[in-house]
A and B are shown apart, each in its own frame.
With several copies, the nearest count.
Chain A
Amino acid sequence: MSTRPDRVVSLRELAAGIPDGSHVALAGFAITRNAVAFAHELIRAGTSGLSVTQVFSGMETDLLVAGGAVDRLTYASGSLDRFGLLHAVNRGVATGRLELIEYSGLALALRLHAGALGLPFVTTRSMLGSDLLAPLVAAGQVEQIESPFDGAPCLALPPLRPDFSVVHVDVADRAGNAVVDGPLWSIPETARASKVALLVAEEIVDVGELDPSRVTIPGSLVHAVAHVPRGGHPTAVYGRYDYDAAHLRSYVAAAGTGAEEHDAYLDRFVRGVSTFDEYLALAAA
């Protein structure tokens, strides 16, 4: 009789599988659906030298940068919506400690999409005429070409295949088939582009309990899934919980004051606890 794989692991195992220096694609968007629990675990593990790709960077990336885990960030933008900017990211760029590679949102999503589909390269008109273009051309990440059909100027971008991706999903079955509710921004491409797709799930169910028409990320593409209820806190997870405005404000207050204050936040909320549940209890106190 044929079988279904069991891909459920602990969050610690999930994070431990990511070697220093890996290229990790993250999939949160500003203050929504960030894999915060995963970022905490990676900081506690002392992981370093990461290259992170996140189309619309948010809390998870700012935490990882503050925690010293990241050497390079590829993004199209970063913010915590009106709560503020990504202070660790911006500080890292200003001090030169963080290498930043910037695209437009569509261009970066298309690079991941091309990676997912195994396309030799992908084309767009976005970024033509902008200052985004020159550094990408200089780095060999974009070529200015003409359409072989009508001669129109356009850009060629190579596929992007991160080593890992981590997506915070609503429900996954034990084989890694996962449902994401609400808007999906670049989640589908991010999961599909990576060589190893990892999930953090609010809820885990047995194989057969999900409606296959509702599956956003097929288990065939997934390597492991960890069960972490409320693992996106303090960011929002659509239909499950709101962002924690008070916590986000205190985070930005610390992060925006300076590197030392940012580090004190990490000492208290990340390094000062040993599990995400402990963090949740501390944050609720």
Chain B
Amino acid sequence: MSADGRWTGGEMLAVAGSLQVHDGDVAVIGLGLPQMAALLAQRTHAPDARLLLEIGVFEPMPTEPSAGIADPRMWRGATAFGTTLEVLGVMAHGGRVSLGLLGALQVDPWGSFNTTEVEEADGRRRRFRGSGGGNDISSNAGRIVIVMTHQARKFAETLTFLTSPGRQVGDRSRADLGLPGEGTCAVVTDRCVITLDDHGATLESVHPGEHPDAVLADTPIPLAVPDGGTKETPAPTARQLAFIRNELDPNGWYTS
């Protein structure tokens, strides 16, 4: 929630995530917040972004909220239906996907991430969804953007499970590993935007109302500060908020 209550953290997250989508991107998008960010981009600054779903959906333009990528509402307006081999294979593994927009449970300093399982305080492991196409997308797309809510425990030097490789794994670069693409280039949360390059992670901007020091304190991975300091993320526009509230997520499933 913004300090003055004009938007929620989820709304801010969807807006900041959407700004990572470039017009013309061919993007495979994951379940939940990535759907929100991608659809918002498609309806605002990136009308020529082409979205793909690993379930075998090409270029959907849904107009009502959906319960995930397996919800037929999310496939509305698609121009073609096909297979996972076509989306994760021909498109992603074949080098035709410029962007993967994905959620994560946990991220490391090089943007590798975990969607498989977390370790509870008592040491027990709790399993979530697994990779699905997440590993394939992060292994093969041009660049990866992670969108997730901000909690300190989600940032870790060593992941409980490395589902998807980022810019490097241990001391091995993507090229060493045999992977194309640049890997994770941004982690967008409901508090900030972290960008990554081959030197590491940078606290690029904090959202309106956040102080960089507070965000740094809650982000226990090495974070550089850009020349000129951490900026403020642009606030959501009225148009963006209206679109989220009226069309994208009127029930607040993802952004409340």
Task: Decide yes or no: A83 and B133 within 8 Å by CB, A2-B61, A153-B178, A184-B81 being known contacts.
Answer: no
B82, B140, B162: the one contacting A125 at CB < 8 Å is: B140
Q: Mark A208-230, 1 if CB is under 8 A from B, else 0.
A: 10101101001111000000000
Contacts of A9 in B (CB 8 A): none
Q: Evaluate contact between B83 and A2: CB separation under 8 angstroms.
A: no
Q: Evaluate contact between A128 and B80: CB separation under 8 angstroms.
A: no
A32, A55, A154: the one contacting B84 at CB < 8 Å is: A55
Contacts A106-B133, A220-B50, A245-B67 known; list 12 others, CB within 8 Å. A1-B47, A31-B67, A81-B68, A127-B139, A129-B169, A131-B163, A153-B178, A186-B85, A210-B79, A212-B80, A213-B81, A218-B59
Q: Evaluate contact between A126 and B139: CB separation under 8 angstroms.
A: yes
Contacts of A158 in B (CB 8 A): none
When chains A and B are docked, how far (Å) is the Cα of A106 from the Cα of B60? 21
Task: Decide yes or no: A32 and B131 within 8 Å by CB, A107-B136, A128-B179 being known contacts.
Answer: no
Task: Decide yes or no: A102 and B94 within 8 Å by CB, A81-B69, A130-B165 being known contacts.
Answer: no
Q: Which of B222-256 contact A (CB under 8 A)?
A: 253-254
A55, A58, A130: the one contacting B135 at CB < 8 Å is: A130
Most buried by B among A89, A104, A118: A104
Most buried by A among B48, B130, B162: B130
Task: Decide yes or no: A128 and B88 within 8 Å by CB, A1-B47, A182-B75 being known contacts.
Answer: no
* B180 on the A face (CB < 8 A): yes
* A119 on the B face (CB < 8 A): yes
When chains A and B are docked, how far (Å) is the Cα of A104 from the Cα of B67? 22
Q: Which of B122-180 contact A (CB under 8 A)?
A: 124-136, 139-140, 159, 161-165, 169, 172, 174, 177-180
Going nearest first, the 6 A-B pairs with the smallest beta carbon separation are A81-B68, A77-B132, A183-B56, A30-B70, A153-B178, A218-B80
* B86 on the A face (CB < 8 A): yes
The stretch among A45-53, A163-171, A236-244 that forms the contact with chain B is: A236-244
Q: Evaluate contact between A102 and B130: CB separation under 8 angstroms.
A: yes
CB pairs A–B below 8 angstroms (11 shown): A4-B79, A5-B48, A31-B68, A85-B128, A127-B139, A128-B179, A129-B165, A131-B163, A183-B78, A183-B81, A219-B79
The stretch among A10-18, A109-117, A269-277 that forms the contact with chain B is: A109-117
Q: Evaluate contact between A192 and B93: CB separation under 8 angstroms.
A: no
Q: Evaluate contact between A109 and B81: CB separation under 8 angstroms.
A: no
A79, A116, A177: the one contacting B90 at CB < 8 Å is: A116
When chains A and B are docked, how far (Å) is the Cα of A245 from the Cα of B71? 11
When chains A and B are docked, how far (Å) is the Cα of A125 from the Cα of B83? 19
Closest A residue by C-beta to B97: A220
Q: Evaluate contact between B124 and A94: CB separation under 8 angstroms.
A: yes
Min CB distance A262 to B, Å, is 16
When chains A and B are docked, how far (Å) is the Cα of A154 from the Cα of B254? 37
Number of interface residues of A (CB under 8 A): 80
Task: Decide yes or no: A154 and B178 within 8 Å by CB, A105-B84, A129-B165 being known contacts.
Answer: yes
B-side interface size class: 35 or more
Q: Mark A63-107, 1 if CB is under 8 A from B, else 0.
A: 000000000000111110111010001100110000000111111
Contacts of B186 in A (CB 8 A): none
Most buried by B among A85, A89, A154, A184: A184
* B92 on the A face (CB < 8 A): yes
* B22 on the A face (CB < 8 A): no
A3, A105, A245: the one contacting B88 at CB < 8 Å is: A105
Contacts of A8 in B (CB 8 A): none
When chains A and B are docked, how far (Å) is the Cα of A185 from the Cα of B85? 7
Contacts of B112 in A (CB 8 A): 129
* A173 on the B face (CB < 8 A): yes
Contacts of A90 in B (CB 8 A): 126-128
Min CB distance A35 to B, Å, is 15
B43, B55, B172: the one contacting A29 at CB < 8 Å is: B55
When chains A and B are docked, how far (Å) is the Cα of A110 from the Cα of B85? 8
Q: Evaluate contact between A82 and B80: CB separation under 8 angstroms.
A: no
